[in-house]
Amino acid sequence: MMRDFSSDEGIMSFGGMKVTEIADRFGTPCYVTDEQRVRENYRNVYNAFSQYMDTEIHYACKANTNLAILSILRQEGSGIDAVSIGEVKTCLKAGIPKEKIMYTGVNVSDQELKEVVESGVMINLDSLSELERLARIKTGIPVSFRVTPGVGSGHGDKVITGNKGAKFGVPKERIVEAYLRAQDLGFIPTGIHAHIGSGGQSVEPFIDEASVLAEIINQLSDAGMDLEFVDIGGGIGVPYKPNEEEMDLQEMACEVTDVFQQETDVKKIILEPGRYIICDATILLTRCVDVKDAVTKKYIGVDAGFNTLIRPAMYDSFHYIQNGSRFGKAGVARYDIAGPICETGDYLGHDRVLPDTQEGDVMVVYNAGAYGFSMSSNYNSRPLCAEVLVNNGEAELIRERETVEEQWRHQIVPGRLQD
């Protein structure tokens, strides 16, 4: 079931605080994360797998890279899946030990590869080209490869990554050759990795993925390479609708580890959940600033658009939305919830049955933690919004709202245009 919240005198309560209080204090739009929920989610996935195998969780930080959130995960003992040098540096800044950071890039430039090598984090290679180019920078270091397992899963076409012909990874038909070449070049093959996609709800693709990985691990073992870890990537889905089923983590852990334990000698499993860790730990607060009866439709106009949360506009993703100021009141009309961006595609939700909503009400967008703030932009010259952390009834700012002036910081007007 989707995570839902309780009411405090008719106002939605989140992390022990009324959402209206948070909105009044920090302004809107703002993303609000419940620290305890981040910790619970981390422990759920870690505990599910660690009962069967030596387990390391690498939080896929592209879901949200706020330093405070990374610090919570550092305290929990999490490692990191980083997909850019920017993420690597941000996680080092948050104090994550470099041994626990794995860099998995795609279409990586030599410049970036060099910086990643200098940072000292683990490198997971995406292609034979990247292998040859890495060898020119440094060899003798541990490496793993991302394999394209021919199994895909995800909440939409744009986020399926493991299918045959994908731009990611070394095709499974070429993977043994890649490891042999790595060995020839003086690297130490230590693991294998795959990531099938993001937001899938069923266990089956993970079992198929595990079978493909197990077969490769054995082929490599026959060729004299015994790997230390298998990394099955991320992609654990989260319910975005009230009655949607949760992914059965216990079943996933049991079935997937069973494949490796029955079929291989590999001892350690790594998982890279991004969405699962942060998605339902965060809500987006956005204020109703305008209400409109457009004859065929009613609109709730809010101050967050696709500059703040792009998932509905980009993926047609569904985010559950409630009126936090009138929480638990019966719905009386159907509304579209739309933002301030000058495009028709700028909406947060269509056809939602909600209580009579007035200007000033605080609307709450659920499940906003994963790929929410991290995909936000300055489109329409709107400043990036604030991020807030709540912990057992206390709220703290973890990212200041950007100012308009800050958007001019890197722009240069040539002298001849300044008269």
Ligand X SMILES: *Cc1c(COP(=O)(O)O)cnc(C)c1O
**Judged by CB under 6 A, which of 149, 150, 169, 234 binds ligand X?**
234
Q: Contact between 29 and ligand X (CB under 6 A)?
A: no
Binding-site string for ligand X from residue 100 to residue 119, where x marks contact by CB under 6 A and - marks none: ----x---------------
Q: Write down the least CB distance from residue 294 to ligand X, Å.
A: 36
Single out the segment in contact with ligand X by CB under 6 A; choices: 14-22, 58-66, 246-254, 399-407.
58-66
> Site residues for ligand X, window 190-219 (CB under 6 A)?
195, 198-199
| Joined tokens for residue 292 | 């409109």
Q: Write down the least CB distance from residue 278 to ligand X, Å.
A: 8
Q: Contact between 235 and ligand X (CB under 6 A)?
A: yes
Quick one: 153 or 257, whose CB is closer to ligand X? 153
Quick one: 195 or 382, whose CB is closer to ligand X? 195
Q: If we measure between CA atoms, which residue out of 1, 46, 110, 25 comes closest to residue 390?
A: 25
| Active-site residue flag, 279 | no
Question: How many residues contact ligand X, by CB under 6 A?
Answer: 19
| Joined tokens for residue 220 | 């490599």
Omega within 30 of 0 (cis) for the link into 355: no
**Which strands form 11-14's sheet, in the order they lie side by side?**
6-8, 11-14, 17-18
CB atoms within 10 A of CB 129: 11
Measured between alpha carbons, how far is 84 from 233 in angstroms, rounded to an integer?
16
Which is the catalytic residue, given 30, 279, 288, 342?
342
Q: Are strands 142-148 and 122-125 parallel, antiparallel or unpaired?
A: parallel
Residues of 342-362 as b/e, b for ≥16 C-beta within 10 angstroms?
eeeebbbbeebebbebeeebb
Contacts 24+ apart (CB under 8 A), 126-130: 126/168, 126/169, 126/170, 127/169, 127/170, 128/170, 128/174, 128/177, 128/178, 128/181, 130/105
CB 29 within 8 A of CB 385: yes
CB 258 within 8 A of CB 272: no
Single out the segment in contact with ligand X by CB under 6 A; choices: 60-68, 71-79, 289-297, 410-418.
60-68
Q: Write down the least CB distance from residue 85 to ligand X, Å.
A: 15
**Judged by CB under 6 A, which of 57, 60, 125, 309 binds ligand X?**
60
> Site residues for ligand X, window 124-183 (CB under 6 A)?
none
Quick one: 275 or 319, whose CB is closer to ligand X? 275
Q: Contact between 275 and ligand X (CB under 6 A)?
A: yes
Task: Note the residues at the interface with ligand X (CB under 6 A).
Answer: 60, 62-63, 81, 83, 104, 195, 198-199, 233-236, 272-276, 370
- Known catalytic residues are 342
